[in-house]
């Protein structure tokens, strides 16, 4: 089962390696990882998607909490958050196929960000499921390259995974 | 103006540091120069690993963080085993390393090592200092982190140019304020209630005392709670000495090398109260089965310990000392008489191994440990290395008001001698006895130099079996007595080694001789090395 962890950390050098080191030391594989600063520039948020069971996630959460620069760890509850991911997909495209591909792009609410004589580059911001769908629709044309950012996640409604006051 | 190096020394003074163990090199010279001029005692070790072990022995005996210092590169990497040893046993250390100049970081220049990176899994936290102005905050935080919550080593890596950098003034902060670090100390009231009612219902309760009790300074509380409640106590290796071994309800050490009666009581218990015990595999071989038979109350300051190896029915996160105080205040536990009778019977049935065999030309190690403990003061500190010698000591030495220091977590050979030196420097008036195997002694033998230079009066016992005994025993049991890499041929004459350092020493080849020499040893006010010839086939248990 996939778990999405939202981790607030102090924005310091080395923190990312501390966090990811915790996973690798225990032999847990990270499915996806995304980092960026938050509304407070001294604080960054790391979103990690990890595949595992409840025990693994509980262990990881507790071990993460032990790291001094970690401010807060929240395991997001399934169905209670929105997630998305940015993908750039470069696909083979001869002139006569262009309209066809553009149709797919339009249907999937993606965007064409670069056009060349033999290729198109498509940008999609969506969840993992839709990204997979787009990729499978484009596959027959020949995918040249895929670049995916990690998953970002935020809770639905007014709840936040922010640190409490201060 | 004040330099980074001077600030570092000032920080240590502000933290009331009295002693620092270390080894020099160009990258730490600016700091050492100020350390030398400060009132802090400098102890030059003979190899950096021992600086960490000495600081660890000091910390364990004094209850304050131990400080050790090394230069960049090889100096820093030599510390790693010592840091990891302290980390596994949750010993507070402040580790200060020099680093190459900031602008050269990452270029693999002479004596550069990414020590904060290398020690990531073994430190509670680490700092690579980027500006001298950050030093006061960093030192304040480091001492706070090392000594609060679950204690542990904190590394401060300071590039040599930062040590030289000048800043306008030095102000030591009053308090450390780290947003993500606020260890919880009081146990949750509801959980305490639940625990107390489980104790009231239990028919066969057992208290398991771990190293966390020592670290929390909760010895008096644990003894008081055990006495008030009448719950029998067993201990892990790290918890030895918390409850005086002659107390009526103390059953001994649990685990693979533990006492049969202690293990038996654990096995039959219907309630197990784990106090600052991490349920290591040497102490509990099948943690998953533990909870099937008994209700488990697990008390630990580190929330990550709870549920790690054993699922607790009643977890309590908090300082053992405070939790036990709550227990004492609120409990009205009365342990069924049948249980008490049963454990006392088990205890009576227990026969300590190793009867003196006077004809053999050897010292019988297990009975000799009992002799040693009878000859020593009540509050003596004992350090033991790793191997058979450690188990002989742990099982047979009668720790009363004193302490038992050993590398329980990482199991680092070569720990006992430097730890004993550190402990003696922390508690000069207490007797300190160090027990080593001939293998482990040789791993740290160079520290005899440190011992002499500082006139440290510790008593060292070398159990010489000319084997790496514990591994040899495994080879006897599992590998057809093929002694791959376990025969210590080429052992020196340890008495002569001692002589070369000017340390009084003697060799004992029988129990009587060992006892006589031990008596002599304890009357002298100098260090002494007693080499005991041990039968290579002497069993561990
Ligand atoms: C640094 C280190 N290397 C290897 C080991 C593995 N080991 C555990 S016990 C032991 C033998 C110890 O021999 P000795 O010190 O002579 O003590 P004895 O068992 O004979 O009492 C060894 C090699 C260890 N614990 N630590």
Q: Which residue of B has its CA nearest to A18?
A: B120
Alpha helical stretches, state H, B311-364 = 320-330, 337-349
For residue A73, list its beta bridge partners.
Answer: A7
Choose among B322, B299, B154, B317: nearest CA to B239: B299
What are the structure tokens assigned to B157, written together? Answer: 């890596």
Distance B388 CA to ligand 1 centre (A): 8
Treating both helix axes as pointing N-terminal to C-terminal, what angle do B469-478 and B388-396 enclose, rounded to 10 degrees? 100
Give every CB contact of residue B337 below 8 A, 6+ residues apart in sequence.
none
Find chain B residues with C-beta within 8 A of A71's C-beta: 179-180
Instruction: Please compute the mean of the pLDDT values over residues B128-155 and round it to a whole number.
Output: 98
Chain B nearest C-alpha distance from A48 (Å): 19
Contact in structure between B384 and B435 (CB atoms under 8 Å): yes
Chain A nearest C-alpha distance from B174 (Å): 19
Q: Tens digit of pLDDT for each residue in B421-466? A: 999 999 999 999 999 999 999 999 999 999 999 999 999 999 999 9
CA distance A60 to B172: 35
Atom of ligand 1 at shortest distance to CA of B463?
A: 21
Distance B339 CA to ligand 1 centre (A): 39
Q: Report the mean per-residue pLDDT for chain B.
A: 95
Q: HSE-up of B531 (CA within 13 Å, CB side)?
A: 22
| Model ipTM value | 0.85
Q: Tens digit of pLDDT for each residue in B219-245? A: 999 999 999 999 999 999 999 999 998
Backbone φ and ψ for B458, nearest 5 degrees, come out as: -115, 155
How does residue A32 score in pLDDT terms, banded at 50, 70 and 90?
Answer: very high
Q: Which residue is it, tokens 């960026």? A: A36
pLDDT cut 70: percent of chain B above it: 99
- Compute the Cα dihedral for B514, B517, B523, B528 and give only its sign: negative
CA distance B364 to B368: 6
Q: Which residue of A has its CA nearest to B125?
A: A68
Tell me whether residue B65 is exposed, middle or buried, using C-beta atoms within 10 angstroms of its C-beta: 0 to 12, 13 to 18, 19 or more. buried
- What pLDDT score was predicted for residue A147? 97
Nearest alpha carbon, ligand 1 atom 23 = B468
Instruction: Please compute the mean of the pLDDT values over residues B97-116 and round it to a whole number.
Output: 95
How does residue B293 score in pLDDT terms, banded at 50, 70 and 90?
Answer: confident
CA distance A110 to B150: 50
What are the structure tokens assigned to A106, written together? Answer: 């339009």
- What pLDDT score was predicted for residue B349? 87
Choose among B441, B435, B410: nearest CA to B81: B410
The alpha-carbon radius of gyration of chain A (Å, integer) is 19
Instruction: Please compute the mean of the pLDDT values over residues B394-405 and round it to a whole number.
Output: 93
Most A CBs within 10 A among B84, B128, B279, B304, hence the mutation to make, goes to B304
CA distance B223 to B242: 8
pLDDT cut 90: percent of chain B above it: 91
- What pLDDT score was predicted for residue A164? 55
Range of lowest pLDDT (A16-25, B269-278, B446-455, B498-507): A16-25
Q: HSE-up of B246 (CA within 13 Å, CB side)?
A: 9
DSSP A67: S
Chain A nearest C-alpha distance from B308 (Å): 7
B 468-527: CB under 8 A from A:
none
Tell me whether residue B457 is exposed, middle or buried, using C-beta atoms within 10 angstroms of its C-beta: 0 to 12, 13 to 18, 19 or more. middle
Alpha helical stretches, state H, chain A = 15-25, 54-66, 98-107, 128-138
How does residue A14 score in pLDDT terms, banded at 50, 70 and 90?
Answer: confident
Tell me if residue A71 falls in helix, strand or coil: strand
Choose among B368, B229, B200: nearest CA to B295: B200
Distance B208 CA to ligand 1 centre (A): 27
Which of the pair, B479 or B292, is modelled with greater confidence?
Answer: B479
- What pLDDT score was predicted for residue A90? 97
Instruction: Please compute the mean of the pLDDT values over residues B284-297 and round it to a whole number.
Output: 88
Choose among B113, B116, B109: nearest CA to B138: B116
The 10 Å Cβ neighbour count of residue B310 is 21
Q: Tens digit of pLDDT for each residue in A49-92? A: 998 888 888 989 999 999 999 999 999 999 999 999 999 999 99
DSSP string, B16-63: T--EEEE---GGGHHHHHHHHHSSSEEEE-SSHHHHHHHHHHHHHHHS
Question: Residue B201 pLDDT more than 60?
Answer: yes
Question: Residue A165 pLDDT more than 50?
Answer: no
Q: How far is CA A119 from the centre of its chain?
A: 25
Ligand 1 binding pocket includes B535 (Cβ within 6 Å): no
Work out the angle at residue A163's Cα, subtended by the Cα atoms of residues A158 and A164, and round it to the nearest 5 degrees. Answer: 75
CA distance A90 to A93: 9
The alpha-carbon radius of gyration of chain B (Å, integer) is 24
Chain A nearest C-alpha distance from B325 (Å): 26
Instruction: Please compute the mean of the pLDDT values over residues B11-18 and round it to a whole number.
Output: 98
pTM of the model: 0.94
Which of the pair, A23 or B374, is modelled with greater confidence?
Answer: B374
B287 at interface of A, judged by CB pairs closer than 8 A: no
- What pLDDT score was predicted for residue A166? 42
CA distance A127 to B232: 57
Tell me whether residue A166 is exposed, middle or buried, using C-beta atoms within 10 angstroms of its C-beta: 0 to 12, 13 to 18, 19 or more. exposed
- What pLDDT score was predicted for residue B536? 94
Ligand 1 binding pocket includes B52 (Cβ within 6 Å): no
Q: Which residue of B has its CA nearest to A71?
A: B180
Contact in structure between B173 and B140 (CB atoms under 8 Å): yes
Range of lowest pLDDT (A27-36, B13-22, B212-221, B364-373): A27-36
A21 at interface of B, judged by CB pairs closer than 8 A: yes
- What pLDDT score was predicted for residue B291? 80
Give every CB contact of residue B428 below 8 A, 6+ residues apart in sequence.
none
B116 at interface of A, judged by CB pairs closer than 8 A: yes
CA distance B423 to B56: 8
Give the total residue count for chain A: 166
- What pLDDT score was predicted for residue A101? 96
A162 at interface of B, judged by CB pairs closer than 8 A: no
Work out the angle at residue B445's Cα, subtended by the Cα atoms of residues B440 and B446, and round it to the nearest 5 degrees. Answer: 140
- What pLDDT score was predicted for residue B370? 95
Find chain B residues with C-beta within 8 A of A21's C-beta: 120-121
Atom of ligand 1 at shortest distance to CA of B386?
A: 9
Q: How far is CA B183 from the centre of its chain?
A: 22
């Amino acid at each position: 089962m996939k778990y999405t962890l939202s981790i607030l950390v102090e924005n310091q050098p080395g923190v990312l390696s501390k966090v990811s080191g915790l996973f690798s030391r225990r032999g847990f594989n990270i499915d996806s990882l995304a980092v960026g600063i938050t509304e407070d520039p001294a604080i960054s948020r790391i979103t990690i998607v990890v595949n595992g069971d409840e025990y693994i996630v509980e262990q990881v959460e507790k071990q993460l909490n032990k790291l001094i620069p970690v401010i807060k760890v929240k395991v997001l509850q399934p169905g209670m958050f929105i997630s998305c991911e940015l993908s750039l997909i470069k696909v083979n495209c001869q002139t006569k196929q262009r309209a066809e591909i553009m149709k797919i792009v339009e249907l999937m609410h993606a965007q064409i960000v670069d056009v060349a004589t033999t290729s198109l580059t498509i940008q999609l911001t969506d969840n993992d499921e839709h990204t997979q769908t787009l990729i499978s629709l484009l596959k027959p044309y020949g995918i040249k390259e895929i670049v995916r950012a990690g998953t970002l996640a935020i809770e639905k409604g007014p709840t936040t995974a922010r640190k409490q006051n201060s | 103006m004040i330099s980074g190096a001077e600030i570092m020394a000032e920080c240590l003074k502000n933290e009331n540091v009295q002693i620092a163990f270390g080894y020099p090199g160009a990258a730490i010279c600016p700091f050492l120069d100020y350390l030398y001029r400060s009132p802090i005692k400098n102890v030059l070790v003979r190899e950096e690993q021992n600086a960490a072990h000495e600081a660890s022995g000091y910390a364990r005996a004094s209850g304050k963080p131990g400080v050790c210092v090394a230069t960049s590169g090889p100096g820093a990497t030599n510390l790693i085993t010592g840091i990891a040893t302290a980390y596994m046993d949750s010993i507070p250390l402040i580790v200060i390393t020099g680093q190459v100049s900031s602008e050269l970081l990452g270029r693999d220049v002479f004596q550069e090592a990414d020590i904060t990176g290398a020690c990531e899994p073994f430190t509670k936290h680490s700092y690579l200092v980027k500006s001298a102005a950050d030093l006061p905050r960093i030192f304040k935080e480091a001492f706070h982190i090392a000594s609060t919550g679950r204690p542990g080593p904190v590394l401060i890596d300071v590039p040599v140019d930062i040590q030289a950098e000048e800043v306008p003034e030095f102000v030591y902060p009053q308090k450390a304020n780290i947003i993500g670090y606020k260890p919880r100390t009081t146990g949750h009231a509801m959980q305490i209630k639940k625990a107390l009612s489980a104790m009231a219902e239990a028919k066969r309760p057992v208290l398991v005392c771990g190293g966390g009790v020592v670290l929390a300074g909760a010895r008096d509380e644990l003894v008081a709670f055990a006495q008030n409640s009448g719950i029998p106590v067993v201990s892990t290796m790290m918890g030895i000495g918390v409850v005086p071994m002659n107390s009526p309800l103390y059953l001994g050490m649990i685990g693979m090398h533990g006492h049969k009666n202690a293990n038996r009581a654990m096995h039959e218990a219907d309630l197990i109260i784990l106090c600052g015990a991490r349920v290591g595999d040497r102490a509990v071989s099948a943690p998953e089965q533990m909870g099937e038979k008994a209700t488990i109350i697990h008390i630990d300051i580190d929330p990550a310990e709870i549920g790690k190896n054993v699922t607790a029915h009643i977890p309590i996160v908090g300082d053992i000392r405070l939790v036990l105080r709550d227990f004492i205040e609120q409990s009205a536990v009365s342990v069924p008489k049948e249980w008490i009778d049963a454990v006392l019977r088990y205890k009576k049935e227990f026969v300590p191994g190793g009867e003196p065999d006077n004809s053999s030309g050897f010292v019988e190690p297990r009975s000799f440990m009992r002799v040693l403990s009878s000859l020593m003061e009540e509050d003596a500190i004992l350090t033991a290395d790793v191997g058979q010698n450690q188990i002989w000591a742990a099982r047979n030495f009668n720790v009363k008001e004193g302490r038992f220091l050993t590398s329980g977590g990482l199991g680092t050979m070569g720990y006992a001698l430097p730890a004993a030196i550190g402990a003696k420097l922390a508690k000069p008036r207490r007797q300190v006895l160090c027990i080593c195997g001939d293998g482990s002694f040789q791993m740290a033998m160079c520290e005899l130099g440190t011992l002499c230079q500082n006139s440290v009066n510790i008593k060292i016992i070398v159990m010489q079996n000319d084997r790496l005994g514990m591994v040899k025993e495994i080879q006897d049991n599992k590998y057809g007595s093929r002694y791959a890499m376990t025969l210590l041929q080429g052992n020196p004459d340890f008495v002569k080694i001692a002589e070369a350092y000017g340390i009084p020493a003697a060799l004992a080849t029988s129990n009587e001789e060992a006892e006589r020499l031990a008596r002599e040893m304890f009357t002298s006010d100098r260090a002494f090395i007693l080499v005991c010839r041990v039968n290579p086939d002497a069993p561990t248990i």
